A and B are shown apart, each in its own frame.
Chain A
Amino acid sequence: MASKPQNKFQQDEKRRDADHVSFLKHKNWRWLKIALVLCIVTGVGYALIDQEPRPNGGSWYGYTLGTIGVVLIIWLSLLGVRKRNISTGHWSLKAWTSAHVWLGLSLIVIGTLHTGFQIGWNVHTLAYVLMLLVIITGIYGVWAYATLPAELSSNRKELTRGEMIDALTAIDRQLDSAAQPLDRAQSDLVIAALDQDVFYGGAFGRLTGSYPGCATAKALKSMPAGGDEAEERVVTLLTRRSEQLAQIRRHLRIRALLEVWLFIHIPATIALIAALLAHVVSVFYYW
């Protein structure tokens, strides 16, 4: 048994005793504080420094703000790489997310001050608008991350995605044999329900949770109430099927709401970086 330095144990103990808080509150709001300081300092600078002839991205102060902004934007966009590159070292993706959110928000102030409130139909304003688009979708993302997970968890009821599908398959198997004694028309309803893709409905259905063409709901509606024993059994199974489908659909809906903003956030970021490049090159070209 080799002797082990105490500090590894202490490190582990610290981790085991770690804060159990969200990315927003990480290290007692560290990144919110840093972002606020950044905003206040740049804001006060904007107000106090006499920029000639007027506040503008082209003054020395404007260049300073622009540089801070571009560095932040590039660094913030690297979160996507950090997330996927599981390298060794004492980094925490939670800290990165925390910094990403709060520093990203501070760009509203820094970017706006950089424009000197000069807006026009040009590539410079395009970059600014794209930045705001990225930030606004990001704000939605923060809201989603802060509120939806609890709903996702309650809906799951300890089932995994695979188990939800398995449960549905099990109901379907029973439904298939239970429907054998039914007449042609009723059998067709059950067959239609069984044949329909579980994931039918497309993006709209997924986001809104509205599935007007749901064959299970239709079959359930068309089955007579108080039928014979076989019919009653089919109705029970169809009810179970629609409940199971509803759980799967709620799961898909919350997952979709958690992810949908990324479909704007990420492409807009790419566009922003391209626009930013055009903005920077053109500014220096026409210096």
Chain B
Amino acid sequence: MVIEGVNLSKGGDRLSDLYKVAIVGSGPAGLSAAAHAAALGMSHVLLEKTDHLSDTIYKYQKGKHVMATPSNLVLRSDFDFDAGKRETILGTWDEQAAAQNVNVMMNAEVAKVEGDKGDFAITLKNGETVRAETIVLSIGTQGNPNMLRCPGADDPMIQYQLDDPGEYFDEHITVVGSGDAGIENALGLAADDAQRNVVTILNRRDSFARAKAANVTLLEEAEQEGRISVRRETSPAEVKNGELVLETRDGQETIPCNRIIARTGSQPPRGFVEAMGIEFTSEERSAFPKLTPAFETTKPGIHVIGALAGYPLIKHCMNQGYDVIEFLNGNEELKPADEPILAEKFGVLPGNHDVEYWLGVFGGNVSILEELSTLQLRELMLDSAVHAYEAGDVIFTRNAPGSSMFAIAEGSVAVEVNPDDPSITVPIEQGSIFGEVGLISGRRRGATIRAAEPVVAIELSRTAALKLIATSPGAARAVNRISVERQLLQMFGSGLTEEDVAPLVESSEVMDIRAGQVIIEEGADDKDIFIIRRGSMIVEKAIGGRPVFLSYLPAGSYVGEMAVIDGSARTATVKAAIKSEVIRLPGEGFMELMERNPRVREQALSDMANRREINAFIESRKDDFDGAVDMYSETASFLVDQGLGEATDVLLIDEKLCIGCDNCESACADAHEGLSRLDREAGKTYAHLHVPTSCRHCEHPHCMADCPPNAIKRGPDGEVFIDETCIGCGNCQRNCPYGVIRMDPKPPKKPSLFQWLLFGSGPGPGEASAKWRKTNGDPEQPKQAIKCDMCAGIKGGPACVRACPTGAAIRVSPDKFLTFTKITEDVE
């Protein structure tokens, strides 16, 4: 960022002032803090590195509708905020900042912080120093763009953002960076010949592997037409006035250059924060700073609020800005703004106790919550549910979908380990957890669980549980150990006890496996057994010198027992279909377990016999019908490549039957407010089996990874859906590797089918054209993310399948479909 002088703040003689609080970053959190400090008459300064307030929202596209979730959270701030257009919100804040005498210092980027509570010295990039007793860090998580790593990197002709490519004429412009942002900027700059720009894009490597295929195609086309000069294996060596020296494969070269657009990613703020002496909860990339209930970090006097503290939503941020100033002002009695939400949540629990009481019980009784601070516990509870059960109540049933994890705060539960005989149960005691297998594997519940006595349980949503595991090493260890133990018990039936498997659990090891990584190599003579606890594997065998797909192993299955039981070399190769986790058990330990427990031996032998049979069948077919086996093997591999390995329910189209009527798309649109969630034509095809662009309902949905309002959930029938709290940020759309999420405003209601049939009113069945939706729709309707919800709640199930006239559209699960019979079935 260019620093051009500093606005004179209203606080008088700045340099000698010792402010009570310096607030770094003027986003919603920082602004709200500064506003409250101003309201209390506390001496304060708000440091903003750019020349405008709230840069993250400032950078939203023009006219973007900003949402105000969660709607049940009250706003506690001296500034106003309500859902609306970006311009309105920024305008309101600018006005209120001026009217309420907030002391803002623009163009004040912090370079380093020294000193201790009571007297911090904050050095700015321009060399000035600001002194303050305490610091509130509200710098968000956007970070700073990476600078060019070459001499002249501070030259003013370098910019890190391109707002309007149409505003530059007759320039030599060089774009540095080979990601989508760089390519899109270059294409934008070269789009209109009338601008007469000479556009060059530099790529350090020889291919654009990080960018979307569509962007790369457009770039290559522009290169062929001579509109953009694409320099591969080239990086900037030195920025000079009006020139750029390039480091190419064949040596240095100088090109004319008036402007450089650097799009080489950004640096997360963690390093900067840690340099102040602030500790984070773990080494994980997703970790947040350790905080007290008053938002104070491990460095006394420095407080962290907002997105950097783990609260990405605007309302949370503004409330925390208010709260942190209250705390600094000595108000220790202040209850967080979420108090009423928690009170309502805990209202279902027996005994009419207050929030404090229950937080105490949870923190005290549940072992995995021991390490959490009150603030973390509160936050965890916001994403969780609490339940009270009577003795005998079913908590969840076998095969119900569910990726939440339960913790028993009071009472105990009974696990029905034998699906055929509910009377055989295993207890789980107070303080322990259950449901962790569903959380880790992303698959359905393995057993029915009942309350054995009156139970108070916490249900941690998948997001909350993953956050807990990432932030609390103790919780992570406990969950890990319990899950290995339970997985063993579940797999080998009711005959075993915890003591039986304890030695095996001790010697087990959890391993992360990359997609494509081999865990068992055909012909090798190692003897380990692997339990797939997350992801999935494929089994291949080399027949006639080529790998032939034998079978698909979902999470929850185990592999490798043959070599242990009969001492033979590995008969097939097992490799990960997608990123997976396996539990490795030493073969000897498993042998011992089998020797002591004849039932385990029996089961292992029968599993082995089944597997042998399938392998033998396919091998025998290979001799008779070479074509069918090749077809099966190649089709199965193709489907795994298309993401079936992580799918739970996926739409396939048999193009030997598909007449292209698009009735599936029409039906989808008509079943869901008029927008289709599938694109039949798009997607890959192999041997007439087509995988359209449509949600696969992944075991571990990529779309859930970064949803600020946690609006993406798994529904009661296993569907992954987006609820109405979606703020339209588009993170899920970017995170989905299959491109199945679209962003669109909810369309207006259409006239009924019969009005169309009889009077021709409205656009007819299916998705209305964009034009019709625009002219008839509400222009204020915000864009939200929409995707397949598997027609949840619609009697009859998925409309796409029901509406296919020829039977081309089917929805399958990989474990049912990736078999020889299904794939080689003769459809006609």
Contact = CB atoms under 8 A, between A and B. Distances in A.
Interface of A: 1-4, 6, 8-9, 11-13, 15-26, 81, 83-86, 88-94, 96-97, 144-146, 148-150, 152-154, 156, 158, 160-162, 170, 173-174, 177, 255, 258
A179 to B, nearest CB: 13
Nearest to A150: B656
Given A17-B816, A86-B803, A149 B663 contact: no
A174 B225 contact: yes
B822 A258 contact: no
Contacts, number: 162
Interface of B: 221, 224-226, 387, 394-397, 399-400, 402, 404, 406, 444, 459, 649, 654-660, 663, 666-667, 670-671, 679, 681-685, 688, 690, 716-718, 753, 757, 765, 794-799, 801-808, 810-813, 816-817, 822, 825, 827-828
12 contacts: A3-B394, A3-B395, A21-B825, A23-B807, A83-B803, A86-B765, A93-B663, A93-B804, A149-B658, A153-B690, A162-B681, A258-B660
Given A3-B397, A16-B816, A21-B825, A153 B797 contact: no
A156 B801 CA distance: 22
B391 to A, nearest CB: 15
Contacts of A161: 681
SS class of chain A's interface: helix, strand, loop or mixed? helix
B801 A15 contact: yes
Contacts of B765: 84, 86
A168 to B, nearest CB: 13
Contacts of B805: 23, 83, 93-94, 96-97
Contacts of A92: 801-802
Contact of B684 (A19, A149, A158): A158
Contact of A1 (B459, B679, B717, B804): B459
A20 B654 CA distance: 8
A78 to B, nearest CB: 12
Which 10 residue pairs of A and B lie closest in terms of their CB atoms, listed nearest first?
A: A153-B655, A160-B681, A86-B670, A3-B394, A88-B795, A94-B807, A16-B813, A84-B765, A97-B805, A17-B816
A150 B659 CA distance: 9
A46 to B, nearest CB: 33
Nearest to A153: B655
Contacts of A158: 683-685
B801 A20 contact: no
Interface centre among A23, A86, A91, A161 (most CB of B within 10 A): A86
Given A91-B802, A93-B663, A93-B802, A8 B807 contact: no
Nearest to A24: B828
Contacts of A13: 813, 816
A2 B224 contact: no
Contacts of A24: 828
Nearest to A171: B221
Contact of B658 (A12, A153, A160): A153
B206 to A, nearest CB: 23
B825 A20 contact: yes
Given A2-B716, A22-B828, A161-B681, A149 B670 contact: no
Given A12-B797, A97-B806, A150-B688, A258 B811 contact: no
Contacts of B822: 20
A3 B683 CA distance: 37
Nearest to A157: B685
Contact of A149 (B459, B657, B803, B817): B657
Nearest to B663: A83
Given A15-B811, A93-B805, A88 B827 contact: no
B660 A255 contact: yes
B685 A170 contact: no
A273 B803 CA distance: 26
Contact of A258 (B659, B663, B753, B810): B659
Interface centre among B656, B679, B765, B807 (most CB of A within 10 A): B807
A176 B822 CA distance: 50
